[in-house]
Structure formats: structure tokens, C-alpha cells
Amino acid sequence: MTRTADQPRMATSRRVRRTLAAFGVAALLTAGCTLPAFAPRTEVEGAAAPTGSAPNWRPCPEVPDELVGRSAPNMRYECTRIAVPRDWGTGGGASAGPGAGQTFEIALLRARSTKQRDRVGSLVINPGGPGGSGVDTAVYLSFGPQFGGLPASITERFDIVGFDPRGVSRSSPVKCISDADLDASFGFDPDPASQAAFDGFVGLSQRIGRGCGDRYGDQLPLYGTEQAARDMDAVRAAVGDDKLTYLGYSYGTLLGATYAQLYPQRVRALVLDGAVDPQQRLVEGSESQARGFERAFTNFTRWCAANAGRCPIAPDARAAVTSAIDKAKVSPVRGADGREATAGWVFYAVISSLYTESGWQELAQAIDKLAEGDPKDVFRLADAYAGREDNGHYSNLFDANLAINCADETEKPSREQIRRLQSEWRGKYPLFGPALAVGMLSCVEWPGGRDPYPTGKANGAPPIVVVGTTGDPATPYEQTPRLASMLGVGRVLTWEGEGHTAYPQTSCITDAVDAYLIDLTVPPEGKRCPAR
């Protein structure tokens, strides 16, 4: 499962970014401006509106109540479901092909401020992953900047609309991986050195693939990005907008870019933050992430060396983390509940912490406590990434993540090639390279056909703002200009910061994005915003 969710920001979702915090009834329980990615899922009740018909919106304060413990001040929440064809290629009415004549239900939530004025329209949100819940994210973002949410300048001009893409959370969810197999996958040695250990991960990937293939069969390709982008046009119609205004994070940039290619004349404004390069295939994309995480980890180690008072594993944080993973391979620390902090769980604690700069100190403390025999914080970090609840149950985040990623992917390297890359990348990206190479097995062993998304220009679309963060681990900055160039109408906005995605982290980024969303003022060519 080492195919990292470009996260819900996988983690996100923030905006699917990784999070360690949860909202309490009255306050945020931990410091920092991060939004929770994983929480209980209140079902959006009611029958789905038939394809093409007007949706029936109903009040749904129970959704923020369950996710956060309360509604945001001055916010009202409404929910609905819409039906979309399972296969847009058949229009939902053809008699042939997988899913022909059948529909998926797409869950939507709309947050509307009671202080709304001069309404522009709806701002549709996707948090990334793939697999992150847009319904949850719309709730979190409605709480305002003090909690890492959207500024009042946006919430008072737009309805904030989140939707769960097909296969995700409340929208005809994919669920085909057992909790035990997810535990085994996340806990597996991230760099299986022996052939027997490597073959063990092959076998686990095959078992997961068989289970999903047995359950969904030839309909697995229908969870791909192009189908979901066509669903977005149904979402646009459901909220009553002639043109789409959209904020997509991480994988959500790929979804938005695909929409722009399919429906360029229906684009009002797209903000694509944490850019995915659609032209990268599996091997290139995996190496890009290995490079990005290695760079972010190096930045963490430099911070550690310069902030020894806040970093208990200083001065050599890399050595401390590498030693912790190596020790976990031979003698994992057992937690109070009997669970073992294997090398895989330690590795995912590292991955999880790199999505935000605020996670760096938490990682240092977790590794320090692990050395003292306490794995609790390692599990807390890793579980936040994995979507694992205290009772050992998982959300469907990674079921959907695999179904979507693998439906999109046409490249299928051989096991022998992956084994060679594991060794090669170990030399280039010592901590993350082997894991990102081996993680490709998840899609290599995935059953079913493929449905690749388009990779061309958005001819006829207005300017699209593509935001990149120079220290982003999951969607490395180099992908930002590539996406903008591919679309032909992209305008790059750069944040010289750390972590995954940028908006609304600083006033410079926020002001530029807000001006674009509200007034369609495109940022100047080459605009760069400082880290602070």
C-alpha cells in the first residue's frame, strides 16, 4: 500500500491532507491549522435525484454535528444526492458494457453563510487522495481561518459545496479490502530486502486485488478519474451554476484538469493546488514522490539540527529515524493494546508527519518516545494517515484510492522491473525510494481493465490558477509548471513553503487566490509568495 495518497492533504482531507487534530465540541484539541481527514461518516440521507432532474436539498446539521460536534457559526448546511450514469460513455441507457443502464449516487453538502452577500455562486471542493471526502472537507473549511478553513471573503460570497466522488465515502462507496489486509499492508516492511519478503508483498497485493475483483468485476474501471470528472458537471448543474468554480487539492488538481479538458466552455475559475502532472505514468510518478518526500525529509532534518530544543532526536534526525525503522524490522515495540510498531507503521508515521510543517516536531517526539519503548505517538501519526480508527476499523479511503488510481493507470511494470527499481532508488532516495518502488505492486496486481484520463490542452477555457509549494512532498513542485503548460491556460502561483498544498496558508497566497475566485483577477506571471 506504499502508493502514497497524494493526499487527504489524504491526509488530506483537509482538503484530504493528513491531520492529527480533531475538532472538539468547543475547540480544536491540538495546536496548528490542520483539518481532520478522517472522522465518522454521517450518511447523507434521502433518495438520489434522477439523472438530469433538480435535486432535493434538505437541512443536514447532523453532518457537522458528527464530524465536529457542532455547526460553524453563521453557517447552514444542506445535503442532497444525485444519480449519475455508471458509465458516461454509454449515457446510462445503452444495453451493452459494464454498468450500462445503472447509476451511482453522488452525495453533496452545501455550506451557506447567513452573512452571505453579493453571491458569486458555488465553490465546489475536492480534497484529493484520491479517496478524500469532499462532504467532510466542505464542513471543515466552513469553520474559517482560525481552524485552517476558508476566509470570510470566500464563505460570504460563495456557497461551499463538497461532494464525495464515485466510490468514496457516501457515494456508492468501494469497500473490498479487509481491515486485516490493510493492517498487514501498512505494517509491511517498506523495503523488503529478501526475495521471500518481496514475494510476500506480491502475495498480499494479489490477495487484495482478487478480493476487489471478485466483488466488482468488470465495473472496476468505472471508478476512474474521467468518469468522476463527468460527474462534476452533474454537480455543477445540481448547484445551478452555468459555469464551474472549483478548488481542487492534490489529486483534486487532476480531477479539475480533466474537467477543463472535457468541458472548457463550462469553466468559470479553477484553482488547482498541489499539482499532479497528468502526463506522468506510474514509474515516473512514483519516483517523483520518492524525490519529493526525500527532499521534505531533508528539510525536516535541517530544521531539527537548527532547533534542538524542540527536536529531541537532534542533531542527526535522519540517523534516528533510520535506526528506528531498522530496529522495528527485528524487534518492534509492542503497544499497550498488543499491537506491534513494525517498520511499516514507523515509516507511515514519517510519511504522515511530512504533509505539514507543524508535523515535524510531532515526528521527532514520536521517534524519541519509540526509543523509550512507547509507540503510542507513532501509531497516532500513522493511523491518521491510514484512516485507521481506534477499534482497528478503516474508512474506505484506501479502497477508493486503489480503485481510482489503478483504473487510471495504463503502465504496468513487471515485478522484475520493480525489484530493480527498488535497489536503484534505494541509492538515490534512501528512505523513501524502495517503498515507492515496491508500492507500485498494488496497481500491477490489480485486476480489471483501465480507463485513462485525457492529457491535453483545455482549449477554450479561461486562465486556470495552478498553485505549487516548493517543499511539497506528495505532489512535488516540479509538477506545477508541467500541469500549467499541459493545460495551455495555466498560470503558476508559487508558495516557497513546506508541506502539502498552499491555500490559504499565508496572506500572500490567500489574497491572490481570493482575487481570482471572486473577481477573476489572474495572478501576475511568475508570482511567488514567501514562506511567511
Q: What is the mean pLDDT of each run of 10 residues along the chain (532 residues)?
A: 49 31 22 34 59 84 96 97 92 65 96 97 97 97 93 97 98 97 97 98 98 97 98 97 98 98 98 97 96 97 97 98 98 96 98 95 98 98 95 96 96 97 98 98 94 96 98 96 98 97 95 98 96 89
341 and 333 in contact (C-beta within 8 Å)? yes
Intra-chain end-to-end CA distance of the chain, in Å: 35
Query: Residue 153 falls within a domain, yes or no?
Result: yes
What's the pLDDT score for residue 199?
Answer: 98
Q: Are residues 64 and 91 in the same domain?
A: yes
148 and 293 housed in the same domain: no
129-149 core/surface letters (b: 16 or more CB in 10 A; e: else): bbbbbbbbbbbbbbbbbebbb
Residue whose C-alpha is closest to residue 474's, from 292, 253, 284: 292
Same structural domain for residues 432 and 503? no
Find the length of the chain: 532
Q: Which domain holds residue 269?
A: 60-173+224-278+454-529
Q: Evaluate whether residue 289 is within a structural domain.
A: yes
User: What burial class does residue 186 get, using C-beta atoms within 10 Å of its C-beta: 0-12 exposed, 13-18 middle, 19+ buried?
Assistant: buried
* Beta-bridge mates of residue 490: 464
The enclosing domain of 234 has a CATH number of 3.40.50.1820
Structural domain count of the chain: 2
CA distances from 108 to 102, 138, 254 (A): 20, 10, 20
Q: For residue 8, tell me if it sits in a domain.
A: no
413 contacts: CB under 8 Å, gap ≥ 6: 282, 283, 421, 440, 444
Q: Are residues 115 and 159 in the same domain?
A: yes
Sheet of 75-85, strand order: 58-59, 75-85, 103-113, 158-163, 121-126, 244-249, 267-273, 464-471, 490-498, 528-529
CB atoms inside a 10 Å sphere around CB 373: 9
pLDDT tens-place string over residues 208-220: 999 999 999 999 9
260 and 233 in a common domain: yes
Based on the fold, state whether residues 476 and 393 are members of the same structural domain. no
Query: What is residue 96's predicted lDDT score, i.e. its pLDDT?
Result: 66
Give the pLDDT of residue 38: 37
The residues annotated with a catalytic role in the active site are: 250, 472, 500
Give domain status of residue 50, yes or no: no
In a domain, 485, yes or no: yes
Encode pLDDT of 258-306 as tens digits: 999 999 999 999 999 999 999 999 999 999 999 999 999 999 999 999 9
Asked whether residue 202 falls in the same domain as residue 101, the answer is no
Same structural domain, 165 and 301: no
For the segment 494-521, what is each residue's pLDDT rounded down to a tens digit?
999 999 999 999 999 999 999 999 999 9
Query: What is the dihedral sign for C-alpha 313, 392, 286, 496?
Result: negative
Answer for the pair 17, 249: CB distance below 8 angstroms, yes or no. Answer: yes
- 416: helix, coil or strand? helix
Residue 54 resides in a domain: no
The answer on 294 and 184 residing in a single domain is yes
Are 292 and 146 in a shared domain?
no
